[in-house]
Structure 1
């Protein structure tokens, strides 16, 4: 699924995100979406979310 479209992401969904400090390396962090932070319907780098553990990053993979 496409992490660039806000409609694809639901609170409680399992996702892999890239954290700000991992953008160069591309390391992914897995977790459960607690909050969707991007207001626009689409974003070319991925929709920004907050995971239930408080980490913030852009969605790359929706599980």
Structure 2
């Protein structure tokens, strides 16, 4: 499994994260990236971000939004 790189994430992207409290269960939280917190280019557990709602967690995947055309 290839971890998502920091360069692949930017503020405004829709992502699914796992918050620290949900690591055991693997529960994902979806939201829009407000801030990227990880400084290194990649991290084995995922890039840490803050979502628009204030949630902090590691990115598990990007959410593709279909074009509305």
Identify the TM-score tier after normalising by the shorter chain. over 0.9
Unaligned segments of structure 1, at least 5 residues: none
Say whether 1:24 aligns with 2:24.
yes
TM-align CA RMSD? 1.1
Separation in 2 of the partners of 1:45 and 1:23?
10
TM-score of the superposed pair, with normalisation by structure 2: 0.86
Q: Which entry has the higher C-alpha Rg, 1 or 2? A: 2
Unaligned segments of structure 2, at least 5 residues: 64-69
Bigger strand fraction: 1
**3-state DSSP class of the match of 1:7?**
helix
TM-score of the superposed pair, with normalisation by structure 1: 0.94
In the TM superposition, structure 1's runs of 4+ consecutive aligned residues that sit over 6 Å from their partners are: none
Report 1 or 2 for greater relative contact order, CA contacts < 8 Å, sequence distance ≥ 6. 1
